[in-house]
């Protein structure tokens, strides 16, 4: 998925987060810093995880926190947070180590982001992504998809 571009401003690698809320908050702040969403979008993502965990934790190892664009999105964007220590999201049995927060302005953008996350699973690169320490490593891993 070459269209999904990561850079130094939209990712944090191998972080320690004390909770899933903190991990989503970090990803959300990256979206805010990019000018994709306003602060209220972060609260919307956390509320969405609390209410719809099944839709957010899409497989062992990965969560895709997001909410409706009406909750404060200005444009489509993505952020990547990888965790040193996997976390359970809102009581989920699956442990999450890759957090892809995103904002989408329409259904096409939404499915594009979901498709990207599914490609990471299908190509079996979640563990590699979790171990990545540099932007260059992330780009090489994403290029495999």
Catalytic residue selected from 66, 81, 109, 138? 66
Residues 6+ apart with CB under 8 A from 116: 1, 4, 78, 100, 145
Token reading at 130: 């979790």
Token reading at 47: 């509320």
User: CA geometry: angle at 7 spanning 73 and 140, to 5°?
Assistant: 125
- 112 labelled catalytic: no
Question: Which residues in 2-142 belong to E strands, given as ranges?
Answer: 11-15, 57-59, 61-63, 77-88, 95-103
Are the C-beta atoms of residues 52 and 68 closer than 8 Å to each other? no
Known catalytic residues are: 66
């Amino acid at each position: 998925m070459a269209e999904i571009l990561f850079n130094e401003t939209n990712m944090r690698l191998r972080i320690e987060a004390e909770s899933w809320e903190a991990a989503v908050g970090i990803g959300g702040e990256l979206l805010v810093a990019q000018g994709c969403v306003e602060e209220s979008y972060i609260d919307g993502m956390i509320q969405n995880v609390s209410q719809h965990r099944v839709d957010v934790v899409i497989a062992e190892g990965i969560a895709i926190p997001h909410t409706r664009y009406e909750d404060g999105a200005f444009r489509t964007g993505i952020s990547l947070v990888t965790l040193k220590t996997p976390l359970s999201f809102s009581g989920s049995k699956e442990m999450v180590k890759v957090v892809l927060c995103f904002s989408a302005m329409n259904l096409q953008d939404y499915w594009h982001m979901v498709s990207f996350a599914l490609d990471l699973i299908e190509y079996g690169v979640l563990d590699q992504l979790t171990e990545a320490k540099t932007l260059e490593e992330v780009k090489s891993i994403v290029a495999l998809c």
